[in-house]
Amino acid sequence: MKQELQWKTKATEPGKPPCTLLVPAALEPYLRTRYRQHGPLIAYLAFLLGRAAVYRQQERLPEVDRVTRKYQRKKQNLQRWHVRIPGELWTELRALAGGCGITMSHMFVVLTLLDKEDQENRTHDGAPTFWGTKIALLEGVDIDEAVTRRKIRFRVDTDPPPGLLRQIRGRRRRH
Protein backbone atom coordinates (compact mmCIF):
# COMPACT_ATOMS: atom_id res chain seq x y z
CA MET A 1 0.00 0.00 0.00
CA LYS A 2 1.51 3.30 -1.10
CA GLN A 3 0.60 6.56 0.59
CA GLU A 4 1.56 10.11 -0.19
CA LEU A 5 2.02 12.91 2.32
CA GLN A 6 2.37 16.56 1.36
CA TRP A 7 2.57 19.77 3.34
CA LYS A 8 3.46 23.43 2.90
CA THR A 9 4.88 26.00 5.26
CA LYS A 10 5.49 29.75 5.16
CA ALA A 11 8.65 31.16 6.68
CA THR A 12 9.17 34.87 7.29
CA GLU A 13 11.42 34.90 10.35
CA PRO A 14 14.09 35.98 10.85
CA GLY A 15 13.74 38.84 8.38
CA LYS A 16 17.51 39.37 8.11
CA PRO A 17 19.29 36.26 9.35
CA PRO A 18 22.99 36.39 10.18
CA CYS A 19 24.83 34.67 7.34
CA THR A 20 28.41 33.74 6.61
CA LEU A 21 29.79 33.65 3.08
CA LEU A 22 33.15 32.01 2.38
CA VAL A 23 35.04 34.08 -0.17
CA PRO A 24 38.48 33.29 -1.64
CA ALA A 25 41.04 35.86 -0.48
CA ALA A 26 42.03 36.55 -4.10
CA LEU A 27 38.47 37.73 -4.83
CA GLU A 28 38.28 40.21 -1.93
CA PRO A 29 39.81 43.22 -3.75
CA TYR A 30 37.23 42.87 -6.54
CA LEU A 31 34.41 42.57 -4.00
CA ARG A 32 35.59 45.73 -2.23
CA THR A 33 35.52 47.59 -5.56
CA ARG A 34 32.00 46.38 -6.30
CA TYR A 35 31.01 47.31 -2.73
CA ARG A 36 31.99 50.91 -3.45
CA GLN A 37 29.94 50.84 -6.67
CA HIS A 38 26.81 49.04 -5.44
CA GLY A 39 26.68 49.92 -1.76
CA PRO A 40 26.20 47.23 0.88
CA LEU A 41 26.71 43.56 0.15
CA ILE A 42 22.95 42.95 0.01
CA ALA A 43 22.68 45.41 -2.89
CA TYR A 44 25.49 43.63 -4.73
CA LEU A 45 23.93 40.22 -3.99
CA ALA A 46 20.59 41.46 -5.35
CA PHE A 47 22.43 42.64 -8.49
CA LEU A 48 24.16 39.25 -8.87
CA LEU A 49 20.92 37.34 -8.41
CA GLY A 50 19.35 39.65 -10.98
CA ARG A 51 22.05 38.62 -13.44
CA ALA A 52 21.55 34.89 -12.69
CA ALA A 53 18.73 34.50 -15.21
CA VAL A 54 20.98 35.86 -17.96
CA TYR A 55 23.87 33.63 -16.87
CA ARG A 56 21.54 30.64 -16.97
CA GLN A 57 20.33 31.49 -20.47
CA GLN A 58 23.96 31.81 -21.54
CA GLU A 59 24.61 28.38 -19.96
CA ARG A 60 27.32 29.82 -17.71
CA LEU A 61 25.96 28.53 -14.41
CA PRO A 62 27.30 25.18 -13.21
CA GLU A 63 25.26 21.99 -13.30
CA VAL A 64 26.60 19.52 -10.80
CA ASP A 65 24.95 16.11 -10.95
CA ARG A 66 25.73 14.93 -7.43
CA VAL A 67 23.50 13.89 -4.59
CA THR A 68 25.38 16.23 -2.23
CA ARG A 69 26.24 19.86 -2.89
CA LYS A 70 29.66 20.61 -4.31
CA TYR A 71 31.92 22.79 -2.17
CA GLN A 72 34.56 25.25 -3.32
CA ARG A 73 38.05 24.10 -4.18
CA LYS A 74 40.49 23.70 -1.32
CA LYS A 75 43.52 25.92 -0.70
CA GLN A 76 41.81 29.17 -1.71
CA ASN A 77 42.37 30.84 1.67
CA LEU A 78 38.63 31.28 2.20
CA GLN A 79 37.67 34.36 4.20
CA ARG A 80 34.52 34.58 6.30
CA TRP A 81 32.21 37.46 5.42
CA HIS A 82 29.56 37.90 8.09
CA VAL A 83 26.47 39.70 6.80
CA ARG A 84 22.75 40.06 7.44
CA ILE A 85 20.88 39.35 4.24
CA PRO A 86 17.11 39.78 3.78
CA GLY A 87 15.40 36.39 4.02
CA GLU A 88 14.04 36.58 0.46
CA LEU A 89 17.54 37.11 -1.02
CA TRP A 90 18.97 34.34 1.15
CA THR A 91 16.22 31.96 0.02
CA GLU A 92 16.71 32.97 -3.62
CA LEU A 93 20.45 32.26 -3.32
CA ARG A 94 19.68 28.90 -1.66
CA ALA A 95 17.25 27.87 -4.40
CA LEU A 96 19.64 28.90 -7.17
CA ALA A 97 22.56 27.12 -5.51
CA GLY A 98 20.47 24.01 -4.91
CA GLY A 99 19.35 23.94 -8.53
CA CYS A 100 22.97 24.09 -9.65
CA GLY A 101 24.08 21.46 -7.11
CA ILE A 102 26.55 23.68 -5.23
CA THR A 103 26.66 25.35 -1.80
CA MET A 104 25.37 28.85 -1.25
CA SER A 105 28.82 30.34 -0.64
CA HIS A 106 30.06 28.62 -3.78
CA MET A 107 27.09 30.09 -5.73
CA PHE A 108 27.93 33.60 -4.46
CA VAL A 109 31.54 33.14 -5.59
CA VAL A 110 30.47 31.76 -9.00
CA LEU A 111 28.16 34.75 -9.56
CA THR A 112 30.91 37.16 -8.48
CA LEU A 113 33.43 35.52 -10.84
CA LEU A 114 30.95 35.73 -13.73
CA ASP A 115 30.37 39.41 -12.94
CA LYS A 116 34.13 39.99 -12.81
CA GLU A 117 34.54 38.26 -16.17
CA ASP A 118 31.78 40.43 -17.65
CA GLN A 119 33.38 43.57 -16.23
CA GLU A 120 36.75 42.66 -17.73
CA ASN A 121 35.15 41.89 -21.11
CA ARG A 122 32.61 44.72 -20.76
CA THR A 123 29.87 42.34 -21.90
CA HIS A 124 27.02 43.55 -19.70
CA ASP A 125 27.34 47.32 -19.86
CA GLY A 126 23.79 48.60 -19.98
CA ALA A 127 22.32 45.08 -20.00
CA PRO A 128 19.15 44.73 -17.94
CA THR A 129 19.11 43.22 -14.50
CA PHE A 130 16.25 40.85 -13.78
CA TRP A 131 14.68 40.47 -10.38
CA GLY A 132 13.41 37.16 -9.12
CA THR A 133 9.71 37.29 -8.39
CA LYS A 134 9.19 33.61 -7.68
CA ILE A 135 11.91 31.03 -7.38
CA ALA A 136 11.20 27.38 -6.67
CA LEU A 137 13.62 24.53 -6.15
CA LEU A 138 12.08 21.09 -6.41
CA GLU A 139 14.31 18.27 -5.33
CA GLY A 140 13.19 14.70 -5.23
CA VAL A 141 14.44 11.17 -5.18
CA ASP A 142 13.14 8.14 -7.01
CA ILE A 143 14.13 5.44 -4.58
CA ASP A 144 13.42 2.62 -7.04
CA GLU A 145 15.80 4.14 -9.61
CA ALA A 146 18.20 5.59 -6.99
CA VAL A 147 18.21 8.95 -8.78
CA THR A 148 18.01 12.44 -7.28
CA ARG A 149 16.36 14.98 -9.55
CA ARG A 150 16.43 18.75 -9.24
CA LYS A 151 14.27 21.26 -11.00
CA ILE A 152 14.34 25.00 -10.60
CA ARG A 153 11.69 27.46 -11.71
CA PHE A 154 12.95 30.99 -11.93
CA ARG A 155 10.34 33.64 -12.75
CA VAL A 156 11.90 37.06 -13.30
CA ASP A 157 10.80 40.61 -13.98
CA THR A 158 12.69 43.73 -15.06
CA ASP A 159 11.14 45.71 -12.19
CA PRO A 160 12.53 45.11 -8.70
CA PRO A 161 10.18 44.10 -5.89
CA PRO A 162 9.34 47.33 -4.01
CA GLY A 163 9.97 45.90 -0.53
CA LEU A 164 13.39 44.58 -1.42
CA LEU A 165 14.30 47.80 -3.22
CA ARG A 166 13.43 49.79 -0.07
CA GLN A 167 15.70 47.56 2.02
CA ILE A 168 18.59 47.93 -0.42
CA ARG A 169 18.23 51.70 -0.91
CA GLY A 170 17.66 52.33 2.76
CA ARG A 171 21.08 50.90 3.55
CA ARG A 172 23.02 52.32 0.61
CA ARG A 173 26.12 54.29 1.51
CA ARG A 174 26.33 57.95 0.58
CA HIS A 175 29.41 59.06 -1.38
pLDDT tens, per residue, the chain with 175 residues: 788 888 888 888 898 899 999 999 999 999 999 888 887 888 889 889 888 888 988 899 999 988 889 999 999 999 999 999 988 889 999 999 999 999 999 999 999 999 999 989 876 656 667 777 777 888 889 999 999 998 888 787 777 777 767 766 654 444 4
Whether residue 9 is contained in a domain is answered as no
Whether residue 4 is contained in a domain is answered as no
Measured distance CA(131)–CA(39) in Å, rounded: 18
Whether residue 2 is contained in a domain is answered as no
Give 4-49 as a DSSP string. ----------SSS-EEEEEEEGGGHHHHHHHHHHH-SHHHHHHHHH
- Number of domains observed in the structure of the chain: 1
Whether residue 11 is contained in a domain is answered as no
Give 50-116 as a DSSP string. HHHHHHHHTT-S-----SSPBPPPSSS-EEEEEEE--HHHHHHHHHHHHHHTB-HHHHHHHHHHHHH
SS3 label, residue 166: helix
31 within 8 A of 71, measured Cβ to Cβ: no
Whether residue 54 is contained in a domain is answered as yes
Q: CB 89: neighbour CB atoms within 10 A?
A: 22
Closest CA to 57 of 128, 140, 116: 128
Query: Could you list the residue range(s) of the whole structural domain that residue 122 is in?
Result: 18-170
Whether residue 41 is contained in a domain is answered as yes
SS3 label, residue 156: strand
Whether residue 46 is contained in a domain is answered as yes
Whether residue 57 is contained in a domain is answered as yes
